């Protein structure tokens, strides 16, 4: 092909984690609701497809239809009437889109438990019946994430952070609130984040292949508090929970307002559900259904179910989203709009793997021994096959939250982080950092981590705008425009569209 493989930061060979492909139950047809309210008690089909702006997304339960009556993922377990499914909707690729949130507001006049004061409003202290009090959720798809300050270790003890944090701007009022703020009796930092897709979880939880060590930091991996096994450290924007179980406990206490941690039986049922459900885009409104003969092998929910986690995909022999060759135009082939769309997807896939640009000043990428800047590709950072995450713990600071690189985000809080003199500073921003979300640093207390976010999986992107943890990219075009500006990629309009079309089929 004349394209030379471009290596990622990862120099070693990834050892594939061999897992048997699950047996996929036969499809039980449709009948799935577009919006799933808690406690509906309906049966969730083994396979169901949902429309979205780019085409269709398919959700696959590999253990067969799910009886949701009494199932803890689908049942309100706490004080506010929400269930996990409230924010992890099958039709939105197990996240929830801003479009869907707005529709619920209109349909329920703001009474859906989605809008619960605790984190479905800009701050619980605000009058809850006003639209303006829910503007971050309605306009940007963002929920309030509140974490204790100073941060806590896994055993619950407080850790001594490298930095102090002050509130510079507080459009929601929550960080300066007397009950919920940084100076309250229980000091808390409130940041605002998108729900991450609770699906395809084997790819999120499989630790990377060099047993025991984070190849980027040389530090030992964290371990599952229950089993002692190494964990991937890829969950949540800030990696604050280590396993699906501890994540579910955290989600119960915060989002569902459960009085006590979920029971072992509830946790087991939630994790069992999460580890068998797969989702991916399955049809394009222009390019047609992927299941039609000759679809690229990496597309669709079944490919996700069958695929193996932990495979490094940053060279042209094992591309991140596998081969798109079947869609590459051939002499004498069709020339209709569908074929033109598929050709654009192929160009986007090529750009993703081979278009080089100067990646600079990105903490946890330009600091791992490769130099700064380095001329690499999207797949350098997003290198894990099937998801586009990182085979190693993927928190990095690409500038989405820190000034001066973040988009103008006047609706979000702005913090001033001041690092202690004896602390290791942020590698590119020094000891005083202005940020909308300290990200990973809210878990570790390290200056080095301020603004770093664990990258999300790329599956079902079409169904769950807006993007980035802080929702700053309103659609896929805005996401690619961010990269074009941030890394001076100088993309043509056609290249941007090719990237968008490529991302829209994942
Ligand atoms: C009010 C909305 C809401 C509810 C209800 C909710 N979540 Fe979430 N979920 C989120 C948000 C927001 C995040 C991202 C948090 C972050 O990155 O800090 C998330 C993240 C996750 C993730 C991490 C995925 C990844 O890629 O890191 C999983 C798994 C998950 N939720 C499962 C659950 C489960 C299980 C429940 C029920 C016990 C639940 N959620 C209830 C909003 C919600
Ligand atoms: C230096 C590493 C790096 C490079 C290079 C990079 N990304 Fe990212 N990407 C990240 C990180 C970190 C995040 C999470 C950022 C956040 O949420 O604030 C992310 C998030 C994403 C997401 C997920 C958004 C979501 O909300 O689910 C997509 C899609 C994406 N990047 C596409 C791309 C494309 C396309 C390119 C090439 C033009 C690219 N990235 C280049 C590190 C990188």
Average pLDDT of the chain is 92
End-to-end Cα distance, the chain: 24
Report the pLDDT value the prediction gives residue 9, as an integer from 0 to 100: 36
Q: Please identify, by atom number, the ligand 1 atom nearest to the C-alpha of residue 143.
A: 12
Residue 7 in this model has a pLDDT that exceeds 60: no
Question: Measuring CA to CA, which residue among 497, 230, 187, 481 is closest to residue 351?
Answer: 497
Distance 105 CA to ligand 1 centre (A): 20
pLDDT tens digit sequence for 408-446: 999 999 999 999 999 999 999 999 999 999 999 999 999
Pocket lining: 94 vs ligand 1, CB cutoff 6 Å: no
Pocket-forming residues, ligand 2, beta carbon under 6 Å: 352, 359, 362, 365, 378, 380-382, 396, 398, 400, 453, 455-456, 458, 461, 467-469, 479, 483, 499, 503
Res 315 pLDDT > 90: no
Q: What is the mean pLDDT of residues 310-332?
A: 94
Q: Decide: 235 in ligand 1 pocket, CB within 6 A.
A: yes
pLDDT of residue 214: 83
At 314 the pLDDT is 84
Mean pLDDT over 93-117 rounds to: 97
Ligand 1 centroid from CA 254, angstroms: 10
196 in contact with ligand 1, CB cutoff 6 A: yes
CA dist 36 and 493 (Å) reads 38
Check residue 207 and give its pLDDT. Answer: 87
The pTM (predicted TM-score) of the whole model is 0.94
- Angle ∠(111,199,188) on CA atoms, nearest 5: 55
* CA–CA gap between residue 304 and residue 199 (Å, rounded): 10
- pLDDT reported for residue 218: 81
- Interval between CA 295 and ligand 1 midpoint (Å): 32
Looking at residue 291, its pLDDT comes to 82
From the CB of 77, is ligand 1 less than 6 Å away? no
Q: Is the CB of 361 under 6 A from ligand 1?
A: no
Instruction: Give pLDDT tens digits for 250-294.
Output: 999 999 999 999 999 999 999 999 999 999 999 999 999 998 767
125 CA distance to ligand 2 centroid (A)? 34
Q: Which residues contact 38 (CB under 8 A, 6 or more apart)?
A: 74, 75, 76, 81, 82, 83, 85, 86, 113
Over residues 229-237, the mean pLDDT reads: 94
CA atoms of 355 and 378, how far apart (whole Å): 8
Per-residue burial over 86-104, b if 16 or more Cβ lie within 10 Å, else e, is bbbbbbbbbbbbbbbbeeb
For ligand 2, atom 38, the nearest C-alpha belongs to 378
Tokens 């002692």, residue? 228
Closest ligand to C-alpha of residue 482 is 2
Atom of ligand 1 nearest to the CA of 142: 12
| Six-digit token string for 171 | 């459009």
Looking at residue 28, its pLDDT comes to 31
Which residue has its alpha carbon closest to ligand 1 atom 9?
A: 195
Q: Give the pLDDT confidence of 366-386 residue by residue, as tens digits.
A: 999 899 999 999 999 999 999
Q: For 95-122, what is the mean pLDDT?
A: 97
- Predicted pLDDT at 4: 33
Q: Is the pLDDT of residue 20 over 50?
A: no
Alpha carbon separation from 238 to 5, 132, 286, 412, 442 (Å, rounded):
31, 28, 37, 17, 7
* 123 pLDDT above the threshold of 80: yes
Give the range among 142-151, 311-320, 338-347 with minimum mean pLDDT: 311-320
Find out whether the beta carbon of 71 lies less than 6 Å from any atom of ligand 1.
Answer: no
> CA-CA distance, 170 to 144, in Å (whole number)?
13
The pLDDT assigned to 142 comes to 98
Note the pLDDT of residue 19.
27
pLDDT category, 33, cuts 50, 70, 90?
A: low
- Ligand 1 neighbour 251 (Cβ under 6 A): yes
| 24 and 62 Cβ atoms separated by less than 8 Å | yes
Ligand 1 atom index nearest CA of 116: 1
In this prediction, residue 240 carries a pLDDT of 94
Mean pLDDT for 2-30 is: 31
* pLDDT value at residue 41: 95
pLDDT band of residue 220 (cuts 50, 70, 90) is confident
8 confidence band (pLDDT: 50, 70, 90):
very low
Residue 11: phi and psi, rounded to 5, are: -95, -30
pLDDT of 159-195, one tens digit each?
A: 999 999 999 999 999 999 999 999 999 999 999 999 9
CA–centroid distance, 311 to ligand 2, in Å, is: 18
Rounded to 5°, the CA angle 338-288-296 comes to 95
How many angstroms separate the alpha carbon of residue 249 from the centre of ligand 2? 28
Are 359 and 419 in contact by the 8 Å Cβ rule? The answer is no
Average the pLDDT over 48-66 and give the result. Answer: 97
Q: Is 247 in the pocket of ligand 1 (CB under 6 A)?
A: yes
What is the spatial distance between Cα 346 and Cα 225, in angstroms, rounded to a whole number? 43
């Amino acid at each position: 092909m004349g394209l030379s493989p471009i290596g990622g930061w990862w120099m070693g060979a990834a050892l594939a984690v061999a897992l048997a492909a699950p047996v996929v139950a036969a499809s039980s047809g449709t009948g799935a609701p577009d919006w799933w309210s808690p406690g509906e008690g309906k049966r969730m089909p083994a396979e169901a497809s949902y429309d979205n702006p780019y085409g269709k997304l398919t959700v696959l339960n590999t253990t067969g239809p799910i009886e949701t009556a009494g199932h803890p993922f689908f049942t309100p377990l706490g004080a506010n009437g929400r269930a996990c499914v409230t924010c992890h909707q099958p039709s939105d690729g197990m996240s929830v889109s801003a479009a869907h949130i707005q529709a619920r507001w209109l349909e329920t006049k703001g009474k859906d438990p989605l809008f619960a004061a605790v984190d479905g409003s800009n701050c619980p202290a605000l009058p809850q019946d006003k639209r303006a009090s829910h503007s971050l959720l309605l306009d940007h798809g963002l929920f309030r994430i509140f974490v204790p300050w100073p941060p806590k270790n896994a055993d619950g003890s407080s850790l001594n952070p490298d930095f102090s944090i002050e509130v510079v701007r507080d459009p929601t009022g929550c960080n300066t609130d007397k009950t919920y703020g940084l100076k309250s009796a229980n000091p808390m930092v409130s940041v605002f984040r998108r729900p991450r897709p609770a699906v395809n979880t084997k790819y999120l939880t499989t630790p990377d292949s060099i047993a025991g060590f984070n190849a980027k930091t040389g530090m030992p991996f964290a371990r599952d508090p229950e089993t002692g096994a190494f964990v991937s450290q890829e969950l949540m924007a800030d990696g604050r929970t280590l396993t699906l179980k501890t994540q579910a406990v955290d989600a119960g206490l915060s989002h569902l307002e459960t009085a006590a941690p979920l029971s072992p039986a509830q946790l087991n049922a939630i994790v069992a559900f999460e580890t068998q459900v797969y989702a991916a885009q399955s049809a394009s409104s222009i390019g047609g259904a992927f299941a039609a003969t000759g679809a690229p092998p990496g597309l669709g929910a079944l490919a996700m179910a069958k695929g193996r986690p932990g495979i490094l995909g940053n060279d042209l022999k094992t591309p991140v989203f596998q081969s798109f060759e079947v869609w590459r135009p051939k002499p004498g082939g069709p020339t209709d709009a569908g074929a033109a769309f598929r050709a654009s997807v192929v160009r986007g896939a090529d750009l993703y793997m081979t278009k080089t640009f100067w990646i600079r000043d990105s903490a946890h990428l330009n600091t791992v021994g490769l130099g700064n800047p380095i001329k690499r590709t999207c797949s350098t950072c997003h290198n894990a096959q099937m998801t586009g995450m990182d085979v190693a713990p993927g928190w990095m600071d690409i500038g989405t939250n820190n000034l001066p690189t973040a988009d103008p985000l006047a609706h979000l809080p702005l913090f001033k982080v001041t690092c202690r003199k004896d602390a290791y500073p942020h590698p590119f921003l020094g000891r005083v950092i202005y940020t909308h979300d300290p990200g990973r640093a809210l878990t570790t207390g390290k200056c080095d981590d301020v603004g770093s976010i664990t990258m999300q999986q790329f599956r079902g992107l079409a169904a769950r705008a807006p993007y980035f943890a802080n929702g700053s990219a309103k659609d896929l075009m805005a996401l690619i425009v961010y990269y074009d500006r941030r890394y001076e990629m100088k993309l043509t309009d056609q290249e941007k569209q090719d990237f968008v079309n490529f991302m829209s089929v994942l």
